[in-house]
Amino acid sequence: MKVPRFKTWLARLPSLNEPQRRQVLDALHPAAGLDQVVARIAQARAPGRCCPRCGNERCHRHGFANDLQRFRCCACGRTFNDLSGTPLARLRHKAKWLAYSQVLLDSLSVRKAAERVGVHRNTAFRWRHRFLHWVKLDRPAALNGIVEADEMFLLESQKGSCTLDRPARRRGRSAPMRNISRHLDCILVARDRTGRTIDAVTGRGALTPAQLERDLLPRLDPQALLVSDSRAAYRAFARKHRIAHEAIHLRVGVRGRHLGSRAIHVQNVNAYHQRFKAWLLGFRGVASRYLPNYLGWRWAIDGGRVSSVEHLLCIAIGVINRKR
């Protein structure tokens, strides 16, 4: 709208009655949400923006598309915007992204999220895992001091799959085999006394030293004290890499002890297990292939670490067109 027409339209606003003013506000509300999202994306834009194809940092503005500024690479000629190369690229309805971020903070189910935001339930499900793609990677670089490590097991699920590699079973049934077996997903959780937490879906069945080397060793400070239960995998892992290790014999009723002035127990990580399992019940079962996303989701909201929709959106956007 050109300036003269806009001034004429703006001058007529006081003559609107109450229902008409309400209609105007309802029409402007999505646009206001879109402006907030675009501003948040611009704020998170990295100074070292580069072409997602060739990595060249020289680019120039090249018009607008889908409410975002586009750029053209001076080297290869590729055009891109601030969301190219991110999990949120090509997603529509940007005006509803902040509302959906609030849905994630509230841990709503897919259907309730779709109803609140005003999108289809398939869109709500797709958005959930696109938003969580980089949220699950936002973890501490290292665990220090006393590090508690323990694993929990969940019944493997192929929910949503068109083909199964096993006979179908009703929801809520127990595993076909007792104790730890190939029917259970093993989730390793390590947590230090400051609350920093890392986790990983190591596979199915019992935990092995090779899995600890892959998922725990890169994030474990060499001077840390590893505290675990009496499982042999932890002893072999600590012995091989010369890591200080203390074991708690939970099977014989030992819950903790003191080593000088330090309390040796795994109660912090076990409490985290309980919170995660109780939180997961609200989704009525999740597929095993999506467990890393839910682990990252829980870590993001545990203890109020991510308390605002803007913060969650910035994590979901992640590094924008920046060299890694």
Q: Would you list the DSSP string of 25-48?
A: HHHHHHHHHHHHHHHHHHHH--TT
Take residue 122 and report the two structure tokens written for it. 């398939």
Interior angle at CA 122, CA 152 and CA 30, nearest 5: 115
Residue 28: per-residue pLDDT: 59
Contact present, 299 and 197 (Cβ < 8 Å): yes
Q: Which helix (H) or strand (E) holds 136?
A: none
Look at residues 311, 321, 309 and name the one whose alpha carbon lies nearest to residue 33.
309
Determine the Cα–Cα distance for residues 207 and 242; give it in Å rounded to an integer: 19
Determine the Cα–Cα distance for residues 31 and 37; give it in Å rounded to an integer: 10
- Tokens 């939970």 locate to 250
Determine the Cα–Cα distance for residues 154 and 157; give it in Å rounded to an integer: 9
Residue-level pLDDT, tens digit, the chain, 324 residues: 778 888 887 888 888 888 887 777 666 555 667 888 888 887 776 666 788 888 888 888 899 888 888 999 999 999 998 888 888 998 999 989 999 999 999 999 999 999 999 999 999 999 999 999 988 888 899 999 999 999 999 999 988 888 888 888 877 677 888 888 889 999 999 999 999 999 999 999 999 999 999 999 999 999 999 999 999 999 999 999 999 999 998 877 788 889 888 999 999 999 999 999 999 999 988 999 999 999 999 999 987 888 788 888 888 887 544 443
Take residue 322 and report the two structure tokens written for it. 């920046």
Inter-CA distances, 185 with 10, 13, 198, 215, Å: 61, 61, 17, 15
CATH 3.30.420 fits 140-159+179-306, yes or no: yes
pTM across the whole model:
0.84
Determine the Cα–Cα distance for residues 23 and 110; give it in Å rounded to an integer: 29
Contact present, 66 and 34 (Cβ < 8 Å): no
Take residue 130 and report the two structure tokens written for it. 């696109």
- The set of residues, in sequence order, having a beta carbon less than 8 Å from that of 291 and lying 6+ positions away, is 154, 185, 187, 201
**Neighbouring C-alpha atoms within 13 Å toward the C-beta of 259:** 13
Contact present, 275 and 302 (Cβ < 8 Å): yes
Take residue 302 and report the two structure tokens written for it. 């545990």
Residue 19: per-residue pLDDT: 82
